[in-house]
Amino acid sequence: MMVRSGNPAVRLGTLMSAVLLLLGAGGAGWAQSAPTSLGVQEQEPQAAPAPATPAPSPPPAGEENPGLIKGLNNLFDKVPSFLPPIKSPSETLNDLSRLAMPSTMVSGRAACPVSSNGAPDCKLAANQLCQGKGYKEGKSLNTDSAEKCSAKVLIPGRQRKPDDCRTDTVVTSALCQN
């Protein structure tokens, strides 16, 4: 059984119901009768009811009967190993306040500088765009790219070289937060 809920209480409830279901399924099954053949029915002699079994005697004082409750307690001692840690109220409030921060979408154009690996770094450009509008930081929502070439490319008969053109990327809209 796979429980995918992010709520630990739901996972715990599902786990408890599965354990109870497994414990209940371990008992005796339903009695089944033998299939009858078509047209012929046999009469079986009626068996006398089995004598009642005596009630089990309590375990000696030195031994302990684990029982259902003790078994569940042992199971729940192992639960924290696979449940996520519970956050403190202050951590939960910090997460919620981060999610509930008001944000505004702004548009404009800010060039993405080239990072050390050669890819454009648009986080810096989004921050520049937002700071230009009076906000603290931003995340890029939309970018635009264009290839810019030198005038040498227009010379007839000249072979194009790898450093004749470059791709410029700009952030055109960003989500800004204070």
pLDDT digit string, tens, across residues 30-81: 555 555 555 555 566 565 555 566 566 665 555 566 678 887 777 777 666 6
Specify burial of residue 6 (Cβ count, 10 A radius: 0-12, 13-18, 19+): exposed
Helix (H) or strand (E) holding 148: strand 137-149
Q: Tell whether the model's pLDDT for residue 21 goes beyond 60.
A: yes
CA–CA dist 146, 159 (Å, integer): 21
State the pTM of this model.
0.42
pLDDT score, position 38: 58
pLDDT, tens digit, 9 for 90 and up, residues 156-178: 998 888 888 889 999 999 999 87
Q: What is the dihedral of CA 58, 62, 66, 67, to 10 degrees?
A: 20
